[in-house]
Chains A and B, each alone.
Chain A
Amino acid sequence: MGLAISFWLLAAAAVGSALAVVLLRNVFRAALLLISCFFAIAGLFVTLGADFLAMVQVLVYVGAIAVLLLLAIMLTREAATGSPFSRWRIGGAIASVALLAAMIAVFRATPWKVADQSVVLKPTTAELGARLLTPESGFVLPFEIASVLLLAAVLGAIVLVKEK
């Protein structure tokens, strides 16, 4: 019961701050509210028993993506006045309503598997780490390739920034 209440409270907070992101004129405040939206989504993951996902949400989205976003705003000249695209209100509204309709249609058409109530929530992080890194589960090579991917990302960033 308490879990359901907190789920709906956090869902309302996420939707409310997401709406504020769209409706606020000041892009910097919109970015700050986007961070609060990310936090609310992390809370939603907690109520759904996905503790690792909640941690990743805070670490990556609140920690890194938000910093990147705020820096991008600070780098932009006259970002506070907003972009010319924000004048396309009707088109944006139509596109977002169409997207929402498509998502609701998919959501309703998907046969969701609902777990029975006897499922016991337990921490997922240790389990995930063990599955990711033991040779039996077969994720060792993808795990190492992930670091090569990150290496490629760093090299790409350096090439983009340094070698003009």
Chain B
Amino acid sequence: MSFLADYGYIGLFFVVSVVFALTTVLIPQILTALGVIPSKPSPAKSATYECGMDTIGKSWVQFNFRYYFLALLFLVFDIETVFLYPWAVAFNKLGLFGFVEMVIFVGILVVAYLYAWKKKAFEWK
């Protein structure tokens, strides 16, 4: 059971996040129900709030295609993390050899990063 006990922290984190989300949603509801907060809705109050400006058009807009490329890059470097994670956990056992291996691994991916940079993939036009 000690292995599963390690998940206690994640479980605790999960419970706290759920309770936090629920309380922030429920506090105004409860206070309204108790009559602490007066309920006087008006068109101005129920308008969609966006940084104090009136919203223009629909919220459904077509995004620029270039965002998708950034998402693809993110996916690739996310996969890199999948390899980095077990390496970091086992780091103390691996010694210098494991370190050199990971430097080569990351070095090859730095080439990808530099190529993307060189090709101006991160610039907006």
Q: List residues of chain A with CB within 8 A of the CB of B6.
A: 123
Interchain CB contact under 8 A, A75 and B63: yes
Say which one of B17-25, B26-34, B35-43, B82-90 lies at the interface with A: B82-90
B73–A157 contact, CB under 8 A?
yes
Listed residue (B87, B88, B91, B120) with the most chain A CB atoms within 10 angstroms of its CB: B87
In the complex, whether B93 has a CB less than 8 A from a CB of chain A is yes
A144 lies within 8 A of B105 (CB): yes
Of A121, A128, A129, A162, most buried by chain B (CB within 10 Å of CB) is A129
Stretch at the interface among A7-15, A16-24, A54-62: A54-62
Q: Which residue of B4, B68, B108, B116 contacts A147 across the interface (Cβ within 8 Å)?
A: B108
Closest Cβ of chain A: how far from B68's Cβ, in Å? 5
* Contact of A144 with B63 at beta-carbon distance under 8 Å, contacts A68-B75, A129-B90, A130-B94 already known: no
**Chain B residues, CB < 8 A from A75:** 62-63, 65, 67-68
Interface size on B, residues (CB 8 A): 50
> B115 touches which one: A56, A123, A155 (CB < 8 A)?
A155
Nearest-CB distance from A27 to chain B (Å)? 11
Asked if B90 and A3 sit within 8 Å, CB to CB, the answer is no
Is B97's CB within 8 Å of the partner chain A? yes
B85 touches A125 (CB 8 A): yes
A96-138 residues with Cβ-Cβ distance < 8 A to B are: 120-123, 125-130, 132-135
Given the complex, which residues of B lie within 8 Å of A65, measured CB to CB? 75
> With contacts A67-B71, A75-B62, A126-B86 known, is A133 near B7, CB below 8 A?
no
Asked if A74 is an interface residue, CB under 8 A from chain B, the answer is yes
9 pairs from A and B in contact (CB 8 Å cutoff)? A46-B7, A64-B78, A67-B71, A71-B63, A132-B87, A133-B98, A150-B109, A158-B69, A158-B121
**Known contacts A3-B4, A129-B86; 17 further A-B pairs (Cβ under 8 A):** A52-B85, A52-B86, A56-B82, A59-B82, A64-B75, A67-B71, A71-B63, A72-B68, A122-B3, A130-B94, A143-B101, A150-B109, A153-B72, A154-B115, A157-B69, A157-B72, A158-B69
Residue ranges of B at the interface with A (Cβ–Cβ < 8 Å) = 3-4, 6-7, 60, 62-63, 65-69, 71-76, 78-83, 85-91, 93-94, 97-98, 101-102, 104-106, 108-109, 111-113, 115-116, 119-121
